[in-house]
Amino acid sequence: MDRLLEIIEKIKDILAKEIGDKKVFDKDVAKALKLSPAAFATMKNRGKIPYEEVIEFCVKHKISVNWLLYGQDPSTVIESTNRFAYVRYFSNVNASAGGGAPNEDELGDSLMIDESLLDKLGMFVSPKDLEAINVVGDSMEPTLSEGDVLFIDVTNKDIDKDGVFVVGSNHGVFVKRILKRVDGNIDIISDNLDYSTQTMSPEEMTIVGKAIGVFGRVH
């Protein structure tokens, strides 16, 4: 709860500077995050950070997500330095239902992240090999939750090794555990036991990349 309140206060400070140091209210924060007042109130009462909306706010205002979420030195909020990396963020692509897979033809936004945060989150890959999309649905609970922002290593498509992968198909984009079968087909496995395992042939799917982190870790 305290962390969420700190984030809200930082957003208020940013908005206040934009409108001339006037007082900013919760309704203004809700509008900036593109949330209804009711949804914002529920989120605040539950202490739940709306990562997707916060990330889009950072992209729009060209500020470091490190500062807003993790308390990075405010003097680096606006200025881009060599310490920062830019990760392609596809705000209109959702993993697990609907949308289309990230590819070179889609226009991703630039999400500014201090490279030290990538290490902190266990994402030991070059930022140029990372893409980020949103998670929808509960099929990967408790590993991934609705509204998480998921980071993908688009150079890692080796499904012979265990892990969570983002996959594109005619049915949309989904994020699942993948297991190769002895018959050559592939089992698509949800962590949420309420969902049954599905099977697809390799020809029916395209591996976008391996999921390596959210704001937290993929287990």
What would the pLDDT profile of 96-135 be if each residue is shown by its tens digit? 643 444 544 456 787 877 777 677 666 778 888 888 888 8
Number of domains comprising the chain: 1
What would the pLDDT profile of 176-194 be if each residue is shown by its tens digit? 999 999 898 999 999 999 9
Q: Is residue 98 part of a domain?
A: yes
Global pTM value: 0.69
Q: Is residue 157 part of a domain?
A: yes
Query: How confident is the prediction for the chain on average, in pLDDT?
Result: 81
User: Do residues 87 and 127 make contact, with C-beta atoms less than 8 angstroms apart?
Assistant: yes
Q: Are strands 186-189 and 130-135 parallel, antiparallel or unpaired?
A: unpaired
Return the higher-pLDDT residue of 147 and 32: 32
Q: Is residue 10 part of a domain?
A: no
Q: Is residue 125 part of a domain?
A: yes
Q: Is residue 40 part of a domain?
A: no
Q: Residue 28 pLDDT > 70, yes or no?
A: yes
Q: For the domain that residue 167 is a member of, what is the CATH number?
A: 2.10.109.10
**Domain that includes residue 134, residue range:** 78-213
Residues in Cβ contact with 180 at an 8 Å cutoff, skipping those fewer than 6 apart? 159, 160, 186, 187
Q: Is residue 91 part of a domain?
A: yes
What would the pLDDT profile of 52-96 be if each residue is shown by its tens digit? 888 889 888 888 777 787 765 545 444 444 466 778 888 777 776
Helix, strand, or coil here: 1? Answer: coil
Mean pLDDT of 128-156: 88
Q: Is residue 67 part of a domain?
A: no
